[in-house]
């Protein structure tokens, strides 16, 4: 089914629009956003071009090979950076929903905010620390030859005859170091911004104030990058570099803005429970009912699109319109609903006392528009995205706290 449910128990990887699933790492589903392919191609080209300059002795296919290998290993390094954050988060009992790699790096989606400033601090520094350690590792792998070649290149403007393995390691040293430094810029939601927030939070004891200050720094950093990009593009005449810098600034601006919106919505939803927006079940049906009977009755005559399958008041599953549509028409009369329903064990359900913030996060994470509200094995009703948005809207418009 497309909207009413997702699986909860074994968390198999789900497809997402604009991204492909890579698999599980440490039990965390990893996605690659299609925008990553752009950065992958770009890095490969940049590195190959740089290698062409530094190592004119390499054949063109050698250069491309080195570029591709470096890109692929860098990709792994970005993933390890996110896994660094994730494992520390998990150590503090915060589940990690997924890791997504996209054009500017990666995002580890942790399920909730840390409870203590120290936790936030350690989760935030774990990423850059991982990158720093990788940088040191690759520096060691690059070896003494790389240092000699660096000295030589400083003197004569040529990288010398560094073997390919060492040259690649030298690149990965630099790029991981840059990744660590960039992420430590103190603008929220970069890692450095989270470090800043944890410090202000620890000193003031005020989480919201700390977030607002860190986001303020985030806006400042974002505008700085945009201005710097424009300067580089038009006054230094390096159009591509300038555009990239401005683009990074624009991305940081969007990220800072969404973190402010997220804070506002968190505040609006605080104190609201599932019961506040509980909607009655549109239609209850029995597992033995045929698809044909469902279509003839509830669907065609009453226009319902979502059905709770119950046996003696016990939840068995949910049937949506798309489940019906994917069943061949000639099988409708002989197919009972229990064969096409999403069974109860696979449904993502909520309990009546759960907070709406949790509901919102689960819906966003799983791409759901509605979830059944269950107490024991009884279905009380549904929560829908519309109901959630109504609360959000009312609180933001009239809450005025």
Contacts with Zn ion, residue ranges (CB under 5 A): 127, 183, 191
Q: What are phi and psi for residue 342, nearest 5 degrees?
A: -85, 115
Running DSSP on this structure, what letter comes out for residue 333? G
Ramachandran region of residue 163, left (φ > 0), alpha (ψ -120 to 50) or beta? beta
Q: Which one, 259 or 362, has the nearer CB to Zn ion?
A: 259
Residue 94 CB, nearest approach to Zn ion (Å): 15
Q: Which one, 135 or 183, has the nearer CB to Zn ion?
A: 183
Q: Which one, 131 or 362, has the nearer CB to Zn ion?
A: 131
Q: Which one, 51 or 188, has the nearer CB to Zn ion?
A: 188
Residue 259 CB, nearest approach to Zn ion (Å): 14
Burial 17-44 (b: 16+ CB within 10 A, else e): eebeebeeeeebbbbbbeebeebbeebb
For the residues of 24-57, what is the DSSP string, one character each? EETTEEEEEETHHHHHHHHHHHHHHHHHHHH-TT
Q: Which one, 44 or 183, has the nearer CB to Zn ion?
A: 183
Give how far Cα 51 sits from Cα of 37, 61, 80, 164, Å. Answer: 21, 11, 25, 9
Burial category of 330 from C-beta neighbours within 10 Å (exposed 0-12, middle 13-18, buried 19 and up) = exposed
Query: How is residue 290 written in tokens?
Result: 């045929």
Question: Which residues, 6+ apart, have CB-to-CB distance to 248 below 8 Å?
Answer: 104, 225, 229
Residue 127 CB, nearest approach to Zn ion (Å): 3
Residue owning tokens 């959000």: 392
For the residues of 207-223, what is the DSSP string, one character each? HHHHHHHHHHHHHHHHH
**Is the distance from CB of 8 to CB of 346 less than 8 angstroms?**
yes
Residue 107 CB, nearest approach to Zn ion (Å): 8
Closest residue to Zn ion: CB criterion: 127
User: How far apart are the C-alpha atoms of 102 and 326, rounded to whole Å?
Assistant: 33
Q: Which one, 47 or 126, has the nearer CB to Zn ion?
A: 126
**Is the distance from CB of 256 to CB of 222 less than 8 angstroms?**
yes
Residue 179 CB, nearest approach to Zn ion (Å): 8
Residue 81 CB, nearest approach to Zn ion (Å): 5
Residue 286 CB, nearest approach to Zn ion (Å): 51
Q: Which one, 127 or 242, has the nearer CB to Zn ion?
A: 127
Q: Which one, 170 or 195, has the nearer CB to Zn ion?
A: 195
Q: Which one, 123 or 210, has the nearer CB to Zn ion?
A: 123
Task: Kindly report whether the peptide bond that precedes residue 382 is cis, defined as omega within 30 degrees of 0.
Answer: no
Residue 366 CB, nearest approach to Zn ion (Å): 24
Q: Which one, 123 or 388, has the nearer CB to Zn ion?
A: 123
Q: How many CB atoms lie within 10 A of CB 168?
A: 23
Residue 359 CB, nearest approach to Zn ion (Å): 27
């Amino acid at each position: 089914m497309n909207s009413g449910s997702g699986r909860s128990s074994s968390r198999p990887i789900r497809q997402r629009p604009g991204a492909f699933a890579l698999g599980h790492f440490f039990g965390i589903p990893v996605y690659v956003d299609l925008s990553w392919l752009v950065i992958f191609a770009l890095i490969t080209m940049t590195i190959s071009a740089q290698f062409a300059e530094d190592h004119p002795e390499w054949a063109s296919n050698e250069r491309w090979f080195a570029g591709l290998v470096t890109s692929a290993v860098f990709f792994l390094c970005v993933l390890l950076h996110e896994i660094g954050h994730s494992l520390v988060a998990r150590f503090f009992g915060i589940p990690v929903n997924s890791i997504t790699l996209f054009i500017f790096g990666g995002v580890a989606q942790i399920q909730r905010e840390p409870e203590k400033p120290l936790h936030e601090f350690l989760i935030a520094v774990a990423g850059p620390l991982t990158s720093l350690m990788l940088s040191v590792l690759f520096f060691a792998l690059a070896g003494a030859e790389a240092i000699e070649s660096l000295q030589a290149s400083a003197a004569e403007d040529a990288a010398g005859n560094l073997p390919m393995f060492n040259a690649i390691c030298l690149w990965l040293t630099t790029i991981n170091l840059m990744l660590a430094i960039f992420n430590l810029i103190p603008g929220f939601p970069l890692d450095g911004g989270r470090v800043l927030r944890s410090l202000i939070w620890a000193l003031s004891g005020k989480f919201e104030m700390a977030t607002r200050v860190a986001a303020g720094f985030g806006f400042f950093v974002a505008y700085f990058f945009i201005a710097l990009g424009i300067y580089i593009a038009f006054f230094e005449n390096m159009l591509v570099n300038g555009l990239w810098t401005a683009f990074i600034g624009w991305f940081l601006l969007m990220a800072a803005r969404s973190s402010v919106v997220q804070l506002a919505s968190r505040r609006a939803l605080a104190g609201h429970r599932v019961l506040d927006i509980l909607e009655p079940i549109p239609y209850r049906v029995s597992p033995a009912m045929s698809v044909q009977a469902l279509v003839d009755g509830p669907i065609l005559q009453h226009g319902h699109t979502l059905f709770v399958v119950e046996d003696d008041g016990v939840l068995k599953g949910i049937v949506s319109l798309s489940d019906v549509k994917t069943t061949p028409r000639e099988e409708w009369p002989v197919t009972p609903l229990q064969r096409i329903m999403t069974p109860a064990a696979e449904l993502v359900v909520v309990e009546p006392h759960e907070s709406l913030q949790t509901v919102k996060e689960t819906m966003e994470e799983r791409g759901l528009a509605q979830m059944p509200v269950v107490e024991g094995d009884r279905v009380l009703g549904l929560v829908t995205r519309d109901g959630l948005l109504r609360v959000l809207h009312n609180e933001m418009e009239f809450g005025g706290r």
